[in-house]
Structure 1
Amino acid sequence: MRRTLAAGLTLLTVTALATPTTAAAEEAASGKGRGMAALTGFAFLPAQTFVPGSEPSGAALGTTPVNGVTPPFADQPVQGFSGLVRNSDGTFDAISDNGYGTKANSADFLLRIHRIAPDFAKNTVDVLGGITLTDPNGHIPFPLTRPDRVITGADIDIESVTRGADGTYWMGDEFGPYLLHFDRAGRLLAPPVPLPGVRAPENPAGSPNLGGSKGFEGLTLSPDGKTLNALLEGTVAGDAPGTLRLNEFDVAGNAFTGKTWRYRLEDPNFAIGDAIAVDANRLLVIERDSAQGADALVKRVYLADKRDRDRDGVLDKTMVADLLNLANPKRLGGHADPFRFPFVTIEDVTILDDRTIAVLNDNNFPSSSGRTPGRPDDNEFITVRLAENLHADPRVLRRR
């Protein structure tokens, strides 16, 4: 097997979704009531990119080829970007989730933050380095897979990330769900903070009321840096079908405030992929169906507003980008016009300027094949110009 080496690091995400309803599919195809966003940049990291000189990975996948790739792997794959932070120098910090999709098959997948640099002139993404996540001071209260307290995909399933003004990272997990606070070297700073009253099937406390892999899929820092908003991917038992809780967290107090809002999916079978603050009241949210390739019908970016001006009990929503229908007159990356981003999991969005966003897929290596059937998806990095300005808080636009 040919492997592409990169000076990098690693992480992933796998989330099962369902097929969209006919009504939702027709709405997605109609383009009604919105301007057309445009592709302005395309770059990709090859699926078979590995951390050089790292540890073996994928032993629990067996030896049967998946999309033409045969596990296990001699090194850690750089794969499945599930959260993104923009840096001041044009690079980005990207995380991937728990590895190969479950606790059972990801014990040899080491959780890491990768520093990546897209080169849109060359359509490439370079992996510049990164850090491994660890818990050297024993903050995680349950047994870890490794005695050296390096955190693996069998311990925690990180799906979202943001960074504070002090350079430390906050990450949202799906196994608790928990919020976790790491320093700039990837060391856990405090015990994981559980969401009160909500438990996933993997939570040691038991009595789950949230579906598996349905924890914190979106995590964003407020413009003033005082609070986090953590968006669940799944509906808590007892809530209206297709509604997701957006939870406020006080950074200084290291605790959830108890304040919540509701985000309503266009279809209960859909899921969100990421969220990023636009200002104190608004955020961008990726919403998607479960399909890939030609079958993909709903992959969207919404502008959601907490103020609920129509008083229906959920965030107001306006679609700002249909990722399956992006204008591409220059045929960037050799792709057709319109451009389609037809992946099962699209799990990264960040704001580049008041009218431009970056979006990345989670390639679920080696499982997903949305771009070319039978071939593992690359990690694709696209920039999208919106039809209208966001009028974002200037602090959001400022590069850190």
Structure 2
Amino acid sequence: MRQFAIRVAAATGATALTLSLVASPTPAHDKDNVRVPTLTGFASLPAQTYVPASDPSGSALGTAPINGVVPPFADQPIQGFSGIVRGGGGAYEVLSDNGFGNKANSADYALRVQRLAPVFQTGAIDVLGGFHFTDPNGKVPFPLTRPDRVLTGSDFDVESITRAIDGTYWVGDEFGPFLLHFDRTGRLLSAPVSLPGVFAPENPFLAGGTPNLAGSKGFEGMAISPDGRYLYPLLEGPVAGDPTDSLRMSEFDTRTGAYTGKKWIYQLDSPAHAIGDAISVDANRFLVIERDGGQGDAALVKKIYMADKRDKNRDGKLDKTLVVDLLNIANPKGLGGFGPVFRFPFTTIEDVLIVDEKTIAVLNDNNYPSSSGRTPGLPDNNEFITIRLPKSLNPDGRVLR
């Protein structure tokens, strides 16, 4: 497969990769009943897609080819999709993560929300612009990488995003782990909020202490209650002293700006697994992506579960029910040029969104340029798929807005 670079409009509202067909936010219809989870939409953004006239990046990656791509880069790649919210008119706002994988190599990656519109009729994705996260008012109490206070992948590792009723954004970070509150333009509104008693190795307040959370195991998923009052951030890894297959979900009150003290446990199928995202279905239920670390043919577990905090069996854990196996999706129409069984075999799958009561959207984090789950030796594209489910999720209508 020939790789090529694409640069797209950086300003909000500007459109690149212009196509005559605009994506419908609901690619399937109520009449499209299925017996098994079925692929209904496929769109892909080439891995080598960059924000035009942006800052150079990837300087800490060296100069040796990575999956055939030679760093550093003249611009900022549009990559690492780690969270998604609706953007209106068939578009979506997608969170790019900290850049190139860790604090040390991502100082030249500006944290950003990308505005995208999948065009399922053609299989392409329109890039409609986006915005950076910034701290112009000095809310962050520790030194930042850039003097202009544009936040970078060395300041925070943003991995989950929700939009509040007032249009502001809550973002989950892994370096603290912190909760970050931004206005509609990406400006930080208040100081980062720590999770009491939990410290990742990158936490700037650790002050020589011992972390009790592994690196890159902070807030990978974060749901918001349908009424907008509570956040439910979910850690990707266990806190020291907890069972190695147990992840903490906490409750945060957006009115008081504090954690309520309520906690739940999401139990992984295996301690070797991780979660990729968590979103609300209603006041009690969540969709959670659970995955192993494999890619391509080595990918064995890429699943989405329904997790219920009512704990009907009283075992102290969220009740889990399988919704879809992402390695076994029916594809009767051969969408994307794939066969009758579609696999989503990426190392990191970190985005799920409810499109309608029977349809979900799922995106991968392509870890550009490091992951090659689709074609060995080539960097993964950013793929956007929709899946029709055989049964309704019966979501609270407010999560569809």
Q: C-alpha displacement at 1:220, in angstroms? A: 1.4
In structure 2, what is the equivalent of residue 31 of structure 1?
A: none
Matches within 5 A, 1:13-32: none
How far off its partner does 1:253 sit?
0.8
Q: Which runs of 4+ in 1 moved over 3 A?
A: none
Q: Which residue of 2 aligns with 1:182?
A: 182
Relative contact order: is structure 1 or structure 2 higher (C-alpha 8 Å, sep ≥ 6)? Answer: 1
Q: Which residue of 2 aligns with 1:7?
A: 9
SS, match of residue 294 in structure 1: helix
Return closer, same or farther for 1:8/1:363 CA change in 2, 3 Å cut-off.
farther
Residue 362 of structure 1 aligns with which residue?
365
From the superposition, tell whether residues 180 and 248 of structure 1 become closer, same or farther in structure 2 (CA, over 3 Å). Answer: same
| Alignment match, 2:275 | 272
Whole-angstrom distance in 1 between the partners of 2:88 and 2:56: 33
1:377 to 376, 380, 401: 380
Residue 216 of structure 2 aligns with which residue? 213
Contact residue 94 and residue 116 of structure 1 kept, 8 A: yes
User: 1:330: how far off?
Assistant: 0.4
Q: Deviations over 1:353-382 (max 9, x none)?
A: 001000000000000000000000000000
1:210-359 equivalences in 2 (<5 Å)? 210-359=213-362
1:228-280: CA deviations, max 9, x gaps? Answer: 11000000011112100111000111111111100000001100000110000
Over 3 Å counting, the alpha-carbon distance change for 1:9 and 1:175 in structure 2 is farther
What is the alpha-carbon distance in structure 2 between the residues aligned to residue 97 and residue 65 of structure 1? 22
Alpha carbons of 1:95 and 1:222: their partners in 2 closer, same or farther (altered >3 Å)? same
Q: Which residue of 2 aligns with 1:162?
A: 162
Q: Once the two structures are superposed, what CA deviation does each residue of 1:272-314 show, in whole Å capped at 9, x if it has no partner? A: 0001100000000000000000010000000000011011110
After TM superposition, give the deviation of residue 205 of structure 1 in Å: 2.3
Shift in Å, 1:393: 0.9
Alpha carbons 1:36, 1:327 under 8 Å: kept:
yes
The AA in structure 2 aligned to 1:237 is A
Does 1:60 find its partner at 2:60? Answer: yes
**Structure 1 counterpart SS, 2:250:** strand
Looking at structure 1, the residues matched to 104 and 354 of structure 2 have their Cα atoms a distance apart, in angstroms, of 35
Contact kept? 1:9, 1:127, Cα under 8 Å: no
* Corresponding position of 2:18: none
Does residue 199 in structure 1 map to residue 199 in structure 2?
Answer: yes
Cα contact 1:9–1:114 (8 A) shared by 2: no
Cα drift, residue 89 of structure 1: 1.3
Asked whether the 8 Å contact 2:40–2:387 carries over to 1, the reply is yes
RMSD, aligned α-carbons:
1.2
Measured in 2, the distance between the counterparts of 1:9 and 1:385 equals 34
For this pair of structures, how many residues does the alignment match? 374
CA distance in 1, matches of 2:330, 2:212: 41
SS in 1 for 2:77: coil
| Mapped contact 2:87–2:115 kept (Cα < 8 A) | no
Q: Residues 101, 380 of structure 1: CA spacing in aligned structure 2 closer, same or farther, 3 A cutoff?
A: same
- C-alpha separation between the residues in 1 aligned to 2:11 and 2:169? 16
% identical equivalent positions? 66
User: Residue 37 of structure 1 aligns with which residue?
Assistant: 37
Point out where structure 2 has 5 or more consecutive residues left out of the alignment.
13-34
Between the aligned partners of 2:71 and 2:179, the Cα distance in structure 1 is 32
SS in 1 for 2:88: coil
TM-score (norm 2): 0.92
Distance 1:54 1:73 in 2: 10
1:40 Cα deviation after fit: 0.6
Q: Confirm whether residue 89 of structure 1 aligns to residue 89 of structure 2.
A: yes
TM-score of the two chains, using structure 1 as the length reference: 0.92
Q: Secondary structure at the match of 1:87?
A: strand
TM-superposition CA deviations, 1:37-87 (whole Å, max 9, x none): 111100000000000010100000010000000000000000010000012
Q: Is the 8 A contact 1:247 1:258 kept in 2?
A: yes
Structure-2 separation of matches of 1:9 and 1:274: 28
Q: Is the 8 A contact 1:235 1:241 kept in 2?
A: yes
CA distance in 2, matches of 1:197, 1:111: 26
Match of 2:148 in 1: 148
Question: What's the offset of the Cα at 1:7?
Answer: 1.6
Q: Counterpart of 2:379 in structure 1: which amino acid?
A: P
Distance 2:149 2:359 in 1: 39
CA distance in 1, matches of 2:244, 2:62: 37
Report SS of the residue matched to 2:60.
Answer: helix
Q: Is the 8 A contact 1:9 1:113 kept in 2?
A: no
Given that residues 220 and 236 in structure 2 are in contact (C-alpha distance below 8 angstroms), is that contact kept between their aligned partners in structure 1? yes
8 Å CA contact 1:299–1:322 kept in 2: the answer is yes
User: Deviations for 1:111-136, whole angstroms, at most 9, x for unmatched residues?
Assistant: 01110000000101111011011001
